[in-house]
Amino acid sequence: MTQIMKMETNEIEIPKGMLRKRPKLKSARLYALSKSTIGISFEPVKEWSKKAIWEGEAHVTETGGSVFVDLPHSITSFYSITQEKITISASSRTNTIQVDVQ
């Protein structure tokens, strides 16, 4: 019997085409908005800050076509994030990212 392990991931990849403007920062704000939703923003979001269960910083790196947000261990372990379990959406109006974890 073969068991397939789905490894937790400690980063979120965001294609640059999803972002209205590309971040020039080395960090992003993370917001644990619910038991299944994470908000990512390159500028503070007051509305998210008010309702977030947890808020903190994450390191950001950039490649040719993507922006990678490194997640703290507390977030990856709480949400048990794997690439197969996430849906990423972005708002062109606010330049924010929402990650839904299934």
Residue 4 lies in a domain: no
Residue 57 lies in a domain: yes
pLDDT means per 10 residues in the chain (102 residues)? 54 88 82 96 94 94 90 86 84 90 88
Residue 2 lies in a domain: no
Q: How high is the pLDDT of residue 2?
A: 46
Q: How high is the pLDDT of residue 8?
A: 57
Range(s) of the domain holding residue 89? 11-101
CB 60 within 8 A of CB 67: yes
Q: How high is the pLDDT of residue 93?
A: 86
Q: Residue 38 burial (CB < 10 Å; 0-12/13-18/19+)?
A: buried
Specify the number of domains making up the chain: 1
Q: How high is the pLDDT of residue 69?
A: 94
Q: How high is the pLDDT of residue 25?
A: 73
